Amino acid sequence: MAVHHQLIRRPPDAVWSVLGDRDRYSDWVVGTADSRPAHGDWPEVGSALQYSVRIGPWTLHGRTVVRRCEQPHMLELEAESGKLGTARIAIDVRPWGEDTLVIVDEHPLTGTGGTLHNGLFDAFLVVRHRRMLDRLADVVESSGAGDAGRSGDRSRA
């Protein structure tokens, strides 16, 4: 199981406004070239997005389904990647003073990812999470959402 966290210098509602916006999914999810609605009203439970991942000359397609949503604190997703299998991605959004602590917990459920899951695979996920959470922080912090009443802009730790 790979777990990583990031302090984002905006309040939880600003973070949630990005997580809950289906049109911003490819802005913060690493490797996603584009995304589009599959069905439902994101991020309601059961709603889904389709996405594409480009790796060199290849394009892979997948789907992400919302399995649990407790707005604005928890979003649990199931990423479906064809023969690679599925993975559970839990995103915990916690108030931290004026800021937000975001914790991502991901582990494979089925398919090749589940069969080959080991410490090396977790190390890869931690690197991916670091990039993903950096991107999420950049998107949230550059949007200016939730700035009212803040004492000034600070850089991330």
Q: Report pLDDT digits (tens) over 61-101.
A: 889 999 999 999 999 999 998 777 898 999 999 999 999 99
43-56 pLDDT tens trace: 999 999 998 877 78
Q: Are 76 and 90 in contact (CB under 8 A)?
A: yes
What are the chain's domains?
A: 2-143 (3.30.530.20)
What is the greatest pairwise CA distance in the chain?
49
Q: CA-CA distance, 75 to 60, in Å (whole number)?
A: 24
Please give the pLDDT value at position 1.
Answer: 59
